Amino acid sequence: MTSAPTTSPRADGAVAAPYAVPRVAPQRRWRPALVWLAVALIAAGGVIAAAVLRTVGSTAEYLAVAARVEVGATIDRSDLHTVRITVDPALEPIRASAADTVIGKFAAVALVPGTLLTQAQLTDAALPGPGRQLVGISLPQERMPAERVKPGASVLLVITTDEGPAANQQATAAPISIKAIVVDVRHGVKEGTTLLNVAVLERDGPLVAARAAAGRIVVALTTEN
């Protein structure tokens, strides 16, 4: 008697792969402080961007100098033109809408083409003023203070006895000193010289002009302003 062949368990089919148990991802903790910080940064960025846009877009029309105007000259409409720009808050140029209030005033300083016009450059009184004369003096550097002389400064015009500086004169007599107000300062025609337009009393005008032509004036700053 023959027995039936024994069937091996491996012959029934492939063995099933082991079942992988899924892992649960760890949950992150919610940090309110970081969320509020991010919101605050976004809000601050929006405010800054809005401010920049307002500044860039806030252009206006202002008065600018179109032609050179000498000190004391009357300002005419042809001397000015209008520009549309964004102005730094530190500057105070005159609006184009105020042009009628500028025409007819006098230039307190020399007006240079291409610059913005400000109230500090204008005056209602004709220069050099009643009882005064405007005299131009061309001086080398050694006859002026090391500190830059500015318009409006009070100075003494020291008359020397020869063509040398006052410091080289013999102290036999006190030099003549004339009070003056600096109206304008610019580069002289000769290299290394400075041209000062000064207002002096009428009685001193001829003497100052003559001594300036002879190169016999030294400028000294005073504390009077």
Kindly report, as residue ranges, where domains of CATH 3.90.1210.10 are found in the chain.
60-123
Report residue 44's pLDDT band, with 50, 70 and 90 as the boundaries: confident
Percent of the chain with pLDDT over 90: 33
Cα–Cα distances in Å, from 84 out to 35, 57, 67, 136? 44, 11, 18, 36
Average pLDDT over residues 151-173: 69
| pTM for the predicted model, two decimal places | 0.53
Q: What is the average pLDDT value for the chain, to the nearest integer?
A: 80
Average pLDDT over residues 192-219: 92
Contact 110, 184 (CB under 8 A): yes
Q: What is the pLDDT of residue 6?
A: 52
State the Rg of the chain over Cα.
Answer: 41
Question: Residue for token digits 């240079």?
Answer: 112
Cα separation, 154 vs 199, whole angstroms: 10
Cα–Cα distances in Å, from 47 out to 57, 86, 179, 225? 15, 20, 56, 46
Domain 60-123: which topology? Type Iii Antifreeze Protein Isoform Hplc 12 (3.90.1210)
